[in-house]
Amino acid sequence: MDLKPLFEPKSLAVVGVSLHNDLHPSNIIFYKNLYRYPVEAYPVNPKAGVLKGVAAYSSVRDLPEVVDLAIISARADVVPKILEDCIAAGVKAGAIISGGFAEVGNTDLQKQIVSISRDADFPFIGPNCLGIYSPLHYDSFFFAPERMSVPQQGNVAIISQSGGLLVDQMIGFSVEGVGLSLAVSIGNKAVIGETDLLDYLEQDEKTRVICLYIEGFGKDEGREFLFKAKECKKPIVLLKAGKSPGGRKAVSSHTASLAGDYTVLSKVLSQNGVVEARNPSELMHFCESLSAYQTPIQGNVSIITLSGGHGALATDLCFEHGLTVPAFSRPEQEMIRKRLKPAIASIATCTNPVDLTGTSTDDDYVEASRVIGTYDQIECLIMLLLPYAPGLSSDLGARLSIVSKQAGKPMIAYLPRHEKYRMLIEGFEINGVPVAHTIEGAVQMALAMAKYRRF
């Protein structure tokens, strides 16, 4: 099946618009694409009519052109007929937003639309989903733009069985500064599932990291997914729901998925190169880290800070996550100390973590990181910055990013995400250094590289 019309359509029809209720999900989808995206958008309603001066058509068969995509948000019982109309009209793909299929026990109806799709080689996403958010192309989510916070365009693609969790993750990406190449809500994944999307995204030049929220797999689906995941050349970050008995029951009622034995699945995921996240926070930070760095590490990190408390907390978190913070030898400590300002050298702690104290300056951070970047046993530098310290400037992010590039080692920064510190944050981000706004987030970013394996 050709999936490009699903993600980069030049024209689309929104089937199921209301002539009387502009808050109907179909209407929100139609107006959003009509006014905000370059795609040619057509409304479809059985009674035809007019929507804010735009003519509605009674069927996709009546449209003035053959559209690439049909977004279907109509009663479940009429979806089979709509699919048949789409196929007859030459529509290339569909996104079925409508619920009321296998997730509520209506398996026969779902089998019917699958059969129609398979017979005609007609790909569709869903049913029971939000569909697709494709930056610069179109958006099938039925949320008004003022209620959504969408990430900047970037290189992380998200595939999710849950529409709500997908939107939450997108909002988190927006706050954290993680760029998005594509977001796909697959719902019941009756025709197009994770494996199909792995094939597409591996070839997608805009995508560097593939992120998944999975509730379960159908029969034989998990085996095929793992085979594709192992062969995939791009990092795959995955969050699995249904780990507990209660979670498995909730998953079954949500998207009719088979959750399976989580303990077994978790081990097999790791063996096949999938980076598993334990929670949404890890999912976000793993994606941000791997979108910047795709060099696996063993887990030996150095922490540089100007607050002993921050350093101690970061060290605890590293050990909790299985990372190592190796102590520096006396000669190594002296190498660091010699590059610091005399007043700082006399009071700084140069073991690991390195505590430069609250009176340190940009130069002390830069020189300490430059020295540590030459130590063979250190694979990653975690910079804990307190931007309210008097000796630090807005230039420090850019300066430390240069050190990271010169050393050829990944660097991760922590600092509070606040508008006051925007220039400092941007100094890192525009140079490809990820920034976390919690210490645990910074450690999770390092953990992503330690969990990532290439085959």
> Is the bond leading into 353 cis (omega within 30 degrees of zero)?
yes
Q: Are strands 236-240 and 50-51 parallel, antiparallel or unpaired?
A: unpaired
Of the candidates 167, 116, 121, 143, the one whose C-alpha atom is nearest the C-alpha of residue 1 is: 121
Render pLDDT for 317-348 as a digit per residue (tens, 0 to 9).
999 999 999 999 999 999 999 999 999 999 99
Q: Which residue has the tokens 């019982």?
A: 77
Q: What is the pLDDT of residue 265?
A: 82
Distance separating alpha carbons of residues 251 and 216, to the nearest angstrom: 8
pLDDT band, residue 258 (cuts 50/70/90)? very low
Is the domain defined by 295-450 classed in CATH 1.10.260.40?
no
> Average pLDDT for residues 105-132, to the nearest whole number?
97
CATH number, domain 1-128, options 3.30.565.10, 3.40.50.720, 3.20.20.540, 1.20.1250.20: 3.40.50.720
What crossing angle do the helices spanning 107-120 and 79-89 adopt, rounded to 10°? 10
What pLDDT is attached to residue 255? 43
Residue span(s) of the chain under CATH 3.40.50.261 come to: 149-292, 295-450
Q: Is the pLDDT of residue 182 over 80?
A: yes
Regarding predicted confidence, which is higher, 258 or 445? 445
Location of each CATH 3.40.50.720 domain in the chain: 1-128
* pLDDT at site 245: 52
Overall average pLDDT of the 300-319 stretch: 98
> What is the share, in percent, of the chain residues with pLDDT greater than 70?
95
* Average pLDDT estimate for 301-323: 97
Residue 98 vs residues 26, 127, 218, 428: alpha-carbon distances, Å: 10, 6, 21, 43
Specify the amino acid at residue 128: N
Indicate the pLDDT class of residue 256, thresholds 50, 70 and 90: very low
Q: What is the pLDDT of residues 383-407, one digit of tens each?
A: 999 999 999 999 999 999 999 999 9
* Confidence tier at 365 by pLDDT (50, 70, 90): very high
Q: How confident is the model at residue 192 (pLDDT cuts 50, 70, 90)?
A: very high
Q: What is the pLDDT of residue 243?
A: 64
What topology is assigned to 149-292 in CATH?
A: Rossmann fold (3.40.50)
**Is pLDDT of 293 > 90?**
yes
**AA identity, residue 141:** F
- Identify the pLDDT of residue 221: 87
How far is C-alpha 62 from the geometric centre of its chain's CA atoms? 38
Note whether 246 and 272 are within 8 A (CB): no
pLDDT digit string (tens) for 203-247? 999 999 999 999 888 888 888 999 999 999 999 999 998 664 544
The alpha carbon dihedral of 96, 97, 100, 105 has a sign of positive
